[in-house]
Structure 1
Amino acid sequence: MCGVAALVGAPHIGADVDAAAAAIAGRGPDGVTRWSDESLLLVSSRLGHWDEGTAQQPFVDGRGGVAAFNGELFNLVELQDVLGRPGASEVEVLLAGVQAQGPEFLRRVDGQFALVARCTAEGPVLLARDRFGIAPLYWAQTPGGVAAGSDLGAVLALRGGDATANPAGLTAILAEWAPTGELTPFEGVHQVPPGHVVTVTPSPDGVVLGVARWVPPIGDPRSGATCDEAALDALERAVRDSVRARLRSTGTVACLLSGGIDSTIVGGFAREEGADLGLALCLQGDDLVGERQREVADALGMRLVQHELTPGEVVDTLAHYVSTRRVPLVRLGPVGMTALARRAARGGIRGVLSGEGADELFAGYDSYRLLAARAGAFGDPKRLPWAAFGAPEFGADRGPVWARSYWRGLVAFSTGAGARRVDILRPVADLLRPPLREAVLEPAAAAPMDGTGDPLEARRRLDVENLLGAYLLTVQGDHAWMEEGVELRPPYLAAPVAEWASARPVTQFVRIDQGKVPVRALLPRLAQRRPALAGLGFAKAAFRVDVSFVQRDPAAFDRLAEYAAACPDRFVDHDALTHRIEQVRAAGACSEAESELLTFAASLGILANS
């Protein structure tokens, strides 16, 4: 994977190409190169994982075609065969493919990418992003055309001018923990949505822009598709093949072992393919999660690099993350992943396999069981065996009595209301300024529906087509890992695995006690060959990086409070925030709502001074 920055159209005053190159340099420690002509500037940084073909970027074909991309094509040989170009590099294959077939060629790709390509000297420039949004791609209009890049800092440097906060982007961060769709934290700067292409066509008046899907939306499940043993055989082959392809590298690739079932299954297939290194993150003093990760590594027969996160490192890394990524946070999970990525990079690890995507494709979130229960999938919604639901995603440490009340209360809500992440902030909404306050307090909308009227299928479409890309970008994925020079590779998001999942109805993936039923069915198969896996339990752990953890170190909390106090008053009521900080400090603890508020305010304070 690499980084890319581009300036389309006539050069203009204010573009800082050196700053753009510096912004993407961390994504490609193997070198930064530039290319330009009268109407296009490309900057590329490279993190090499293999050297097939002419790996140098930007790639120029000698006939007016030029391209640079960030990502990996895991079915490169297949694509070479389709185009009749044996031995061609990834970027050469992408350029030749879109030259021959247009953006529809991208439907053949099993991989992750952000592509900038011009097929002819006078033709439009295409900005395309992979179907799930694993690789980021931002763009903004400039006085003479368009600036684009893998990094917000690169786009802002090429665009020039002031970086003004975008209320809609900040609202999305509060509501969904990350910018969604085309939104970013800055006015006039957009994401290329996952599975879309932005076409930039030069014209006498500047450029003409078009945005279109290159991949169709998730279709309706196929009639008759099942999860029987033959189907599970096919799923096992697809996941194994995906893991094998994503282990390919001239450098070291590790498996992220969180202690959960998704990453354990990925690790199991990786071990069978010869991988022997695991990577894990735990909190200082959290013996439960740390020991579980060690148990998983032992059962897999893997060496484990385990990073113990301290409160002081959380605050240091938050400042580093926000000032370099230019994205405010509302939760501290990305900070933990960034700290782990930095540890991995110091150890020479260049790629990491993770379990991302399984919850979205295979209905792993509690919201799916909640919707199924309301729809009567498990019986009369008023008389369900509440203990059978088990511990929820949040509050797993509160005990079974609380868990039963939690499920009973949520299922009893109106069937049209959905559980929202933003509702967590309601107790502190009065500390936010408009329009952020109104976004938190507005009534919950009806649960998403699709043309079939099935809330479960509608929920999966929303998760896969909108929320997954945002989550991969900010919460767990690219900005945490790639900008530290480590590539995140999620095997569950391989095209064959996604096609298997989307062909089947969500109802086949959900039971009263669990989701992801087909994924869970892979574990006993692995355990036949590695019996130690059969003895592992995967109860939900109360693993969370939050401000309560930071409070264990008073000096670290004081620094976080200083960042929060620097938040501009147009976003939060400064006096009320200062008073709340003192209350939290005196109590020695904070609620989840207070943790999110302080993280958000601290992020905006860091941005205001960077």
Structure 2
Amino acid sequence: MCGITGWVSYERDLRGEGATLDAMTETMACRGPDDRGTFTDRPAALGHRRLAIIDLPGGRQPMTVETPNGTVALVYSGEVYNFTGLRRELKARGHRFTTDSDTEVVLHAYLAWGDALAERLNGMYALAVWDGRDDTLVMIRDRMGIKPLYYYPTPDGVLFGSEPKAILANPLARHRVRLDGLRELFAMVKTPGHAVWDGMHEVEPGTVVTVGRYGLRRRVYWRLETRPHTDDRAASVAAVRSLLEDVVRRQLVADVPRCTLLSGGLDSSAMTALAARQLAEHGEKVRSFAVDFVGQTDHFVADELRRTPDTPFVHDVAHACGTDHQDIVLDADALADLDVRAAVIRARDLPVGFGDLDSSLLLLFRAIREHSTVALSGESADEVFGGYLQFFDEEARAAETFPWLVSPARRSGEEQDVLRPELTEALDLEAYVADGYRTAVSGIVRLDGESDFEYRMRRICHLHLTRFVRILLDRKDRASMSVGLEVRVPFCDHRLVEYVYNTPWSLKSFDGREKSLLREATRDLIPKSVYDRAKSPYPSTQDPRYAVALQEHAKDLLSRPGHPVFRLVDRERVRQAARRDTPQITQTSRRGLERTLDLALWLDLYSPELSLT
């Protein structure tokens, strides 16, 4: 796992731009605390920060190969889990290797197959190859978009980086956000390719972007496709179990300490149990970590989303699987700390967070990093297997919009926006979301004979796998990599995603519950308490002291009436939320305060040029 960046300019000699390349590279130091390297050719400059996971001494980057017609150089972030099989295939073709790293396999795979290597990779990756044989840059991103990669076209080339901050460190990149960027920031829809910053783009998942003297072209090498599913229930359950066992086995490979993220839900429990069983074959124990809050279990109050506290279920799994377990217990002061909030924004480069969910995730990862370098997560199982409430909510099912936007708060009219009314009008998020939804569903293929209901559920599953999951994957990548922790996501293996996506909803929910296939496929591995537990999202603190701390921070901000955040948020609405009595501070009020504080810190840290017209 690493951070990559670079600059291609066909009209200048970048060998004299070392200071700028260094500045771009050092923004990725958090992603790669173990090593750094740069490569410069006349029109190309590549930077790399390394988090050493496999072949610690041998995987240094940028990695190069000299050919008779020019140098080929690679910078690569992520892990390719099938690299040993690819190495065997490449050796049979005459390639010779000097390291045991997956990086060298990826480089030789490019020499063998060009950008068609993308179709052969299994893993999470974002990579860039400078091919000096024809002076082209090839950028490739994994199928599900687990690893981020951004680019910024310039008049004579391109800038690129794992995160926007690497690109923004180059003087050619303008720090500007237009209305369309703010729409993306506030709409919760994740438009493919959109990067919020004006002029910047994401390399879309499953896509190759090639830059040459002729310009830029894109090639989609993978997309989620509709296919008939012919397996019955028993065969489907068996196929899911077989895929899960293979995926977890592949993703446990590392030369550094590993662990699992354990929430006590079905997803993380099944993944932890599989890892525990496989490592036990080699006499090893799994380390597991869970987040908790001071007093949460003893004073838990159920709501529509979270019916039970996590900790009792976490401990059931840790005991049943024999893991070396540790709870990371956080208090309200730590969650509300402005330095933590600022760290979250620096990690994301944008104020697009989830409030205390983001703060606790970052603090959890900081604590885990003291013990492990690699963590396996249950992220994305809800999108793959159909775990969210909106999959079962009739109004969300029927709505002609993104189903996760059909929330109870919106239906009850409780949803409150702290944005200035004139900005809300200019943004017109309703139209933006409607346009995005029409685009998102336009290419979803319906099977011959598929019922209206099954096609409706196919569309909901497709939206979650191609739009919603990318919000959560980006969040997890940024939070983990900001502390140098590699988080792997077994449920995003594209083979598993393809198989389960094409199982009809009647199979995904054959027992009338969420994630029926996953539950049945792992029922022999998990405690009965977890098998019977209803879906519970990532936990949020219920400590009223957190809300009080938010109010105090908001009052400090209100004492600075000239702060630029008040170009965006309505001062009076913020004042009302900051003065509300503690029992009246709802989750909605908290969100308004959190959004205001996030925006204010983002403006302080990045000083973006905002174009509000």
Q: Between 437-446 and 590-599, report the one with greater CA deviation.
A: 437-446
Structure 2 counterpart of 1:225, from 222, 231, 234:
231
3-state SS, counterpart of residue 198 of structure 2: coil
The answer (yes or no) to whether the contact 1:563–1:603 under 8 Å persists in 2 is no
In structure 2, the residue matched to 1:388 is none
- What is the 5 A alignment of 1:272-311? 272-274=277-279, 275-287=285-297, 288-311=309-332
Does residue 22 (structure 1) correspond to residue 21 (structure 2)? The answer is no
In structure 2, the residue matched to 1:335 is 359
In structure 2, the residue matched to 1:350 is 373
Residue 196 of structure 1 deviates from its aligned partner by 1.3
CA 1:224–1:237: 2 relative to 1, 3 Å = closer
**Cα deviation 1:296-339 (Å, max 9, x = unaligned):** 21122112121112222223321211134312124222222111
Residue 187 of structure 1 deviates from its aligned partner by 1.3
CA 1:142–1:444: 2 relative to 1, 3 Å = closer
CA 1:303–1:569: 2 relative to 1, 3 Å = same
Structure 1 residue ranges (4+ consecutive) displaced by more than 6 angstroms after TM superposition: 12-15
CA 1:553–1:40: 2 relative to 1, 3 Å = same
Q: Between 92-101 and 235-244, report the one with greater CA deviation.
A: 92-101
3-state SS, counterpart of residue 226 of structure 2: coil
CA distance in 2, matches of 1:246, 1:22: 28
Does residue 194 (structure 1) correspond to residue 205 (structure 2)? The answer is yes
Does residue 174 (structure 1) correspond to residue 180 (structure 2)? The answer is no
CA 1:330–1:53: 2 relative to 1, 3 Å = closer
In structure 1, the residue matched to 2:567 is 570
Does residue 66 (structure 1) correspond to residue 61 (structure 2)? The answer is no
CA distance in 1, matches of 2:538, 2:182: 26
Q: Percent identity?
A: 23
Does residue 39 (structure 1) correspond to residue 43 (structure 2)? The answer is yes
In structure 2, the residue matched to 1:120 is 132
Structure 1 counterpart of 2:405, from 421, 427, 435:
421
Q: Between 265-274 and 95-104, report the one with greater CA deviation.
A: 95-104
3-state SS, counterpart of residue 299 of structure 1: helix
Residue 54 of structure 1 deviates from its aligned partner by 4.0
Structure 1 counterpart of 2:149, from 114, 137, 149:
137
Does residue 266 (structure 1) correspond to residue 271 (structure 2)? The answer is yes
Q: Between 428-437 and 479-488, report the one with greater CA deviation.
A: 428-437
3-state SS, counterpart of residue 318 of structure 2: helix
**Cα deviation 1:107-156 (Å, max 9, x = unaligned):** 22110001011233333201111111111111112354211111221110
The answer (yes or no) to whether the contact 1:481–1:488 under 8 Å persists in 2 is yes
**Cα deviation 1:194-213 (Å, max 9, x = unaligned):** 1112211125xxxx122231
| Counterpart AA for 1:219 | E
Number of equivalenced pairs: 554
Q: Between 598-607 and 79-88, report the one with greater CA deviation.
A: 79-88
In structure 2, the residue matched to 1:212 is 219
**Cα deviation 1:358-381 (Å, max 9, x = unaligned):** 1112222222223xxx5xxxxxxx
Q: TM-score, normalised by structure 2?
A: 0.83
| Counterpart AA for 2:183 | T
- What is the 5 A alignment of 1:348-427? 348-370=371-393, 410=395, 416=400, 419-421=403-405, 424=409, 427=415
Does residue 185 (structure 1) correspond to residue 208 (structure 2)? The answer is no
Residue 441 of structure 1 deviates from its aligned partner by 5.0
3-state SS, counterpart of residue 188 of structure 1: coil
In structure 2, the residue matched to 1:524 is 523
In structure 2, the residue matched to 1:326 is 349
Q: TM-score, normalised by structure 1?
A: 0.83
CA distance in 2, matches of 1:28, 1:522: 37
The answer (yes or no) to whether the contact 2:457–2:505 under 8 Å persists in 1 is yes
3-state SS, counterpart of residue 569 of structure 1: helix
CA 1:202–1:590: 2 relative to 1, 3 Å = farther
In structure 1, the residue matched to 2:610 is none
The answer (yes or no) to whether the contact 2:387–2:535 under 8 Å persists in 1 is no
CA 1:129–1:21: 2 relative to 1, 3 Å = same
CA 1:60–1:325: 2 relative to 1, 3 Å = same
CA distance in 1, matches of 2:477, 2:60: 22
Q: Between 331-340 and 440-449, report the one with greater CA deviation.
A: 440-449
The answer (yes or no) to whether the contact 1:296–1:536 under 8 Å persists in 2 is no
3-state SS, counterpart of residue 38 of structure 1: coil
| Counterpart AA for 2:602 | L
3-state SS, counterpart of residue 329 of structure 1: coil
CA distance in 2, matches of 1:295, 1:270: 16
The answer (yes or no) to whether the contact 1:115–1:129 under 8 Å persists in 2 is yes
Does residue 165 (structure 1) correspond to residue 165 (structure 2)? The answer is no
3-state SS, counterpart of residue 92 of structure 1: helix
| Counterpart AA for 2:54 | W
